[in-house]
């Protein structure tokens, strides 16, 4: 695993130099809320460029076919909508504003519920069916009683969930229990070595000191820095509470710890063994980055997981989406399912224009005082807004996609924990594979992947003695116009729309690699033969089912030029009355951040509709 120093670094523009990074952070530490607002407005200005292209044609092959609704899910979905007169969340008079929310994902539902509780008349329009409420917080149930989460599988920052439901007048415990998962992860390397990232400090010390002299003490020191990043980053740059707290300490430490350098570079200065670096950086994928271009400040992910813990909602993440849907209904929110939106209707010319509602594919206009778009922001700008006001995200940086395998095994595999990660010892090449940097953009032979086997925490996901295993293989995102069709007339030339590598072959190669590594690295002999049912979601499925630009499942990536105040803000810069929530807008992707963003969007919408101005 020897690597050159050059492989540990990424090319960075001048504004990422250590001196400039330190000065930037000291400036941030001494600034006030007004300074942040000025920076936000500047970011919105520079992001406001025009451009629009026609939407991609949907490729229908390989669409998941085994999704069906469970009895408990049907019960939740058929709950009777009851409008209640409940006081506003944010104070002030109840408002009668009409709001249309586009998309019944977690961000759309949380925003709709907050606005309805404040007195708005809210309608949620969703292109998919009622069983898809919650968006990617969904499930797949297969023959024989195997159940899978099809979206998120790690519940982080549980207090964010509790706070959301509490501010809506409910208790999350009414709907699901959040159980802590232990060990947090089991990690297998492809040379057969394994590590349990557990709560048992003595066991962890033994394992890390085996990997590297003083490994555990270095790990503890690293987590102390990660904790500081979390305690400063979460309230100030994510929740936008602008509490000074430990900002000066953070800024001073930044001069030495360089939280804006690439994560792998920082880890390389702390740890000698590449395996230690790998253990503490694979989570960068959650923000759509590799350790070679992720800012080191994302060590806060390790502080969340390895100190605060990873949790699981009993019954699966679909229960979270259902619960938010139930709360919405109880607050009087109306739903229009199977109702795709064809455009956001705007009036006015030049400068700022006004949104007056949305037009459905059927041609029906739903007028509104405000529109909140929970559809993927780059998709919405391209497909739902006119050329004159839409922003172009053609040159933006997108996260990876994933190939997801949902595997029904007739055996229970003790080698797997609830969360298991398989890491390549060819670390750089494995990340190049995920981001399409190998020759020809191919999926490499060496790749990292993640397996979720929740039966260890929730036995209801599969029959006793069996396993329901979701495997996620990171892979490059795809062109918007990729169809997967090959018609070379026998010439051997790739004439597919969108061109590029044989992405259908990615699925075959990924499946073979997963089974090979699980059998060899984890000692799961016979795993391939134990599979009695399976489904696959490929990048084009994510793109077409959820309108995700380029099939990028984590939305826009979180590189320095798309981070915090430089990420697209919640309010459209040129369309009055149009807001965005979800993974590609601020504060970012992941259920907790989307819930935080929903709170911010709802507060901003209410300020406008109650104040009568934009």
Q: What is the pLDDT of residues 384-429, one digit of tens each?
A: 999 889 999 888 989 999 999 999 999 999 999 999 999 999 988 8
The whole-number pLDDT of residue 164 equals: 98
Pairing of strands 370-373, 98-102: parallel
DSSP of 151-176:
S---B--HHHHHHHHHHTT--GGGT-
Average pLDDT, integer, range 486-491: 38
Of the listed ranges 1-10, 190-199, 204-213, 334-343, the one predicted with least confidence: 1-10
Which band of pLDDT confidence, cut at 50, 70 and 90, is reported for residue 3?
Answer: very low
DSSP 8: G
Of the listed ranges 203-207, 245-249, 502-506, 593-597, the one predicted with least confidence: 245-249
Residue 182's CB is within 10 A of a number of other CB atoms, namely 16
Give which of 35, 42, 79 is closest to 175, Cα–Cα. Answer: 79
Is residue 588 left, alpha or beta, with left meaning phi > 0 and alpha meaning psi from -120 to 50? left
The angle at the Cα of 262, spanning 258 to 266, to the nearest 5 degrees, equals: 55
Give which of 563, 560, 543 is closest to 551, Cα–Cα. Answer: 543
| pLDDT greater at residue 198 or residue 329 | 329
Which band of pLDDT confidence, cut at 50, 70 and 90, is reported for residue 214?
Answer: very high
Query: pLDDT of 419-457, one tens digit each?
Result: 999 999 998 889 888 888 877 667 778 899 999 999 999
- Whether the Cβ atoms of residue 415 and residue 391 lie closer than 8 Å to each other: no
- The structure's pTM equals 0.81
Pairing of strands 311-313, 449-452: unpaired
Name the average pLDDT for the chain.
Answer: 80
Structure tokens that stand for 128 in this block = 């998919």
The pair phi, psi for residue 346, each rounded to 5°, is -125, 150
In this structure, the chain runs to a length of 614
Residue whose tokens read 């949104």: 355
Prior bond of 587 cis (ω within 30°): yes
The pair phi, psi for residue 190, each rounded to 5°, is -75, 0
| N-terminal to C-terminal alpha carbon distance within the chain | 56
DSSP 79: P
H helix intervals, 48-131: 71-77, 106-117
- Edge-first strand listing for the sheet containing 194-197: 194-197, 185-189, 419-423, 449-452, 467-475, 401-409, 531-537
248 three-state secondary structure: helix
Over 70: is that where the pLDDT of 86 sits? Answer: no
Over 50: is that where the pLDDT of 162 sits? Answer: yes
Query: pLDDT of 268-303, one tens digit each?
Result: 999 999 999 999 999 888 877 889 988 887 788 888
d(CA 606, CA 604): 5
- Whether the Cβ atoms of residue 147 and residue 356 lie closer than 8 Å to each other: no
Over 70: is that where the pLDDT of 347 sits? Answer: yes
DSSP lists the bridge partners of residue 407 as 469, 534
d(CA 388, CA 353): 10
Give me the CATH code for the 48-174+314-393+557-611 domain, please: 3.50.50.60
Query: pLDDT of 490-506, one tens digit each?
Result: 333 343 444 555 677 88
DSSP 306: I
CA separation (Å) from 217 to 221, 223, 271, 275?
Answer: 6, 10, 11, 16
d(CA 591, CA 160): 9
- Whether the Cβ atoms of residue 316 and residue 179 lie closer than 8 Å to each other: no
Pairing of strands 578-580, 370-373: parallel
- Whether the Cβ atoms of residue 343 and residue 358 lie closer than 8 Å to each other: yes
Pairing of strands 334-336, 121-125: parallel
Structure tokens that stand for 432 in this block = 């190049």
- Whether the Cβ atoms of residue 223 and residue 197 lie closer than 8 Å to each other: no
> What ranges do the domains of the chain cover?
12-44+182-309, 48-174+314-393+557-611, 400-546
Residue 103's CB is within 10 A of a number of other CB atoms, namely 27
Q: Which helix (H) or strand (E) holds 15?
A: none
List b or e across 129-152, with b for residues whose CB sees 16 or more CB atoms inside 10 angstroms. ebbbbbbbbbbbbbeeebbbbbbb
With 0-12 CB in 10 A as exposed, 13-18 as middle and 19+ as buried, what is 430?
buried
Residue whose tokens read 């409008």: 83
d(CA 614, CA 600): 16
Which band of pLDDT confidence, cut at 50, 70 and 90, is reported for residue 613?
Answer: very low
The whole-number pLDDT of residue 245 equals: 57
């Amino acid at each position: 695993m020897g690597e050159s120093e050059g492989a540990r670094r990424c090319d960075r523009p001048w504004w990422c130099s250590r001196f400039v990074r330190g000065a930037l952070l000291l400036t941030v530490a001494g600034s006030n809320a007004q300074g942040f607002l000025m920076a936000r407005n500047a970011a919105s200005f520079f992001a406001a460029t025009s451009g629009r292209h026609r939407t991609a044609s949907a490729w229908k092959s390989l669409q998941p076919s085994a999704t069906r609704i469970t009895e408990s899910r049907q019960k939740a979905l058929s709950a009777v909508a009851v409008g209640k007169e409940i006081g506003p969340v944010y104070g002030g008079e109840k408002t009668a504003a009409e709001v249309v929310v586009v998309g019944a994902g977690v961000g759309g539902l949380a925003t709709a519920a907050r606005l309805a509780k404040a007195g708005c008349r809210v309608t949620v329009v969703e292109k998919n069916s009622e069983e898809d409420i919650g968006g990617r917080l969904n499930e797949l149930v297969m023959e024989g009683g195997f159940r899978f989460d099809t979206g998120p599988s790690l519940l982080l920052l549980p207090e964010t969930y509790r706070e959301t439901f509490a501010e809506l007048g409910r208790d999350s415990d009414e709907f699901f229990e959040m159980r802590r998962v232990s060990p947090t992860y089991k990690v297998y390397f492809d040379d057969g070595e394994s590590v349990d990232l557990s709560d048992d400090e003595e066991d962890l010390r033994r394992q890390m000191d085996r990997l590297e002299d003083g490994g555990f003490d270095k790990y503890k020191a690293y987590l102390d820095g990660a904790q500081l990043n979390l305690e400063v980053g979460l309230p100030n740059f994510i929740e936008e509470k602008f509490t000074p707290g430990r900002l000066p300490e953070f800024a001073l430490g930044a001069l030495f710890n360089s939280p804006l350098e690439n994560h792998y570079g920082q880890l390389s200065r702390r740890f000698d063994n590449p395996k230690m670096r790998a253990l503490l950086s694979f989570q960068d994928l959650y923000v759509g980055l590799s350790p070679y271009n992720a800012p080191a400040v994302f060590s806060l992910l390790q502080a969340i997981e390895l100190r605060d813990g990873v949790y699981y909602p009993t019954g699966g993440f679909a229960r979270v989406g259902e619960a938010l849907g139930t709360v919405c209904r109880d607050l009087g929110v109306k739903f229009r399912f199977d109702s795709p939106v064809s455009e956001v209707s705007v009036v006015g010319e030049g400068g700022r224009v006004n949104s007056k509602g949305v037009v459905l594919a059927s041609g029906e206009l739903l007028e509104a005082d405000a529109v909140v778009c929970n559809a993927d922001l780059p998709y919405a700008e391209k497909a739902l807004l006119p050329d004159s006001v839409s922003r172009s995200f053609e040159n933006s940086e997108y996260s990876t996609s994933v190939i997801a395998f949902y595997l029904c095994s007739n055996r229970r595999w003790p080698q797997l924990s609830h969360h298991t990660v398989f890491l390549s010892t060819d670390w750089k090449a494995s990340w190049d594979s995920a981001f399409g940097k190998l020759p020809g953009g191919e999926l490499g032979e060496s790749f990292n992947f993640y397996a979720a086997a929740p039966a260890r925490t929730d036995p209801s996901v599969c029959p006793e003695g069996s396993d329901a295993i979701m495997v996620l293989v990171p892979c490059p995102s795809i062109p918007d116009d990729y169809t997967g069709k090959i018609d070379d007339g026998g010439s051997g030339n790739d004439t597919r729309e969108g061109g590029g590598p044989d992405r259908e072959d990615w699925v075959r190669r990924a499946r073979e690699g997963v089974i090979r590594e699980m059998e060899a690295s984890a000692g799961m002999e016979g795993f391939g033969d134990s599979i009695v049912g399976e489904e696959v979601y490929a990048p084009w499925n994510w793109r077409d089912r959820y309108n995700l630009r380029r099939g990028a499942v984590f939305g826009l990536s979180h590189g320095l030029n798309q981070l915090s105040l430089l990420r697209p803000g919640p309010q459209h810069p040129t369309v009055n009355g149009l807001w965005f929530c979800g993974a590609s807008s601020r504060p970012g992707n992941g259920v907790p951040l989307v819930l935080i963003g929903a709170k911010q969007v709802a507060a901003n919408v209410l300020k406008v509709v109650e104040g009568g101005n934009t």
